[in-house]
Amino acid sequence: MKFLERKEGTLQLINNAPKAYPGFKNYVRKKIEEEEKLLEGVLFADDIISAMHSGYKNALAGYLRSAEESNRFIIERASLSIFVSATEEKYLELLRERQWHVLVDEGYIIRAASEGIGRIKKATGRTLKLNKYSVYLMGAPVCRKHLKFQKYSMSIDELEDNLRVRIYAKCKFCHRQADYFTLAMPKASALIGLAEYITGKSTTNLMRIYANISRVIHPYGFTDLDKDKVFTLWARDFLNIISEVNNLFNLVDSSRGSSNNGKLTGKFVKNGES
């Protein structure tokens, strides 16, 4: 289907989408089944797989907004998988204990990848590879008096010992000499950018798709489209997304004759690095 190869955003093609034929729907279903196998062992694989299936079902029913929400969630979870696998498992704890939003509400946020990386450079005078220590430097420096989330903080002394750099930082709240850094929660757009920083692979296309999907969901919604056209629109985004995600994860499609039978060739797996 030539429509799938077009480079315009979904919004630009919304009125020109062809109806999906049964053979194409079956093709997409098989791609989902292939992707399930490829994602085996990847952190948050279950979440991504669930989103693929819910997107497929909603697209079949003609619910573009709901189907595209699943696509957006796939991007978010894949980016979070790469970020957490490369940095600090305490982010998993924050999710399990439903504390992520608590730190967000307190202002511990990374709004863009450049903001997080800039904080590291400000604290150390250099850029560092993201790992379980340097990720704290993307958070907030605090003194002992203003240390509120000790469980999700690390002392500057410990950071300096492990990173082997000098760290200069003032408390976020009182501007006295900081003693700790508290983890900050990356927003979705920041996660996508940080996935690029970690892997060294471009996420420009993934960011473009994410932004376009967000506009489909809000403010437009598109609740009155033919359901067979809805499937085509969703599937185009979905197939592009899994292609980009597989590239980030270093996944190889087994149908291309890979010598590793479609398994991970990279490091982004459950419980950290392979």
Query: 188 lies in a domain?
Result: no
Segment (H or E) for 248: helix 227-249
Question: Of 182, 217, 244, which residue is a domain's last?
Answer: 182
Q: Tell me if 262 is assigned to some domain.
A: no
Does residue 170 share a domain with residue 136? yes
**pLDDT tens profile 167-202:** 999 999 999 999 999 999 999 999 999 999 999 999
**Is pTM, for the whole model, over 0.85?**
yes
Closest to 116 in 3D by CA, of 204, 201, 194, 196: 194
Residue 248 lies in a domain: yes
3-state secondary structure of 252: coil
Residues with Cβ within 8 Å of 260's Cβ and at least 6 positions away in sequence, in order, are 252
Assign 217 to helix, strand or coil.
Answer: helix
Question: Which tens digits make up the pLDDT trace of 67-94?
Answer: 999 999 999 999 999 999 999 999 999 9
pLDDT at 43 (0 to 100): 97
Structural domain that includes position 142: 90-182
Are residues 13 and 82 located together in one domain of the fold?
Answer: yes
DSSP character at residue 218: I
Residue (of 108, 100, 90, 109) closest to 146 by Cα position? 108
Write down the pLDDT at residue 2: 76
Whether residue 46 lies inside any domain: the answer is yes
Q: What is the pLDDT of residue 217?
A: 85
Which pLDDT does position 144 carry in this prediction? Answer: 97
CA distance 117 to 244: 23
Confidence of residue 225 (pLDDT cuts 50, 70, 90): confident
For residue 193, tell me if it sits in a domain.
no
**140: helix, coil or strand?**
strand
Based on the fold, state whether residues 164 and 241 are members of the same structural domain.
Answer: no
- Residues 266 and 268: their CA atoms lie apart, in Å, by 6
Band (224; pLDDT cuts 50, 70, 90)? confident
Model confidence band, residue 223 (pLDDT cutoffs 50, 70, 90): confident
Q: Which are the contacts of 42, defined by CB distance < 8 A and separation ≥ 6? A: 48, 81, 249, 264, 268, 269, 270
The residue type of 125 is G
Q: Is there a single domain that holds both residue 80 and residue 97? A: no
146 and 227 co-located in one domain: no
Q: How many domains does the chain have?
A: 2
User: Is 263 domain-assigned?
Assistant: no
